[in-house]
Amino acid sequence: MIGGDVTAGGCADASLYRRFHAVGLTELTCFPQLAAVTATFEPSRLASFEQRILATLTAEEAGEWREAVAAAKAGGSFFYALPHHCAVGIKPA
């Protein structure tokens, strides 16, 4: 995501899968995921994403962004897809 939410020592990529394996977890299930954020269910979170994106754009890009967002909202198709990686494993006894 623009601006990212990764802290020092964290990860925001597929290295999560390797990290889980490296610490000895077994029966790993690893997969990428997209979480859709919509105005219907999470309006404040969607607004936050909009502001974070706008903060990274030039004035010209911001104008284009606002136009595209307004059109998508008017057409009922505006949402944000938040990509992330998931890994689930079992810690051996």
The residues that bridge with 83 in the sheet, in sequence order, are: 34
CA distance 84 to 30: 11
User: Which residue range forms the structural domain that includes residue 74?
Assistant: 15-90
Query: Is there a domain that residue 9 lies in?
Result: no
Predicted TM-score (pTM) of the model is 0.65
pLDDT given at position 12: 74
The residues that bridge with 88 in the sheet, in sequence order, are: 29
How many structural domains compose the chain?
A: 1
What SS3 state is found at 28? strand
Query: Is there a domain that residue 83 lies in?
Result: yes
pLDDT given at position 43: 93
CA distance 19 to 23: 6
- Reading the chain (93 residues) residue by residue, the pLDDT tens digits are 455 566 777 777 788 889 899 999 999 999 988 989 999 999 999 999 999 999 999 999 999 999 999 999 999 999 999 888 889 999 998
Whose CA is closest to 84, among 17, 34, 10?
Answer: 34
CA distance 78 to 59: 21
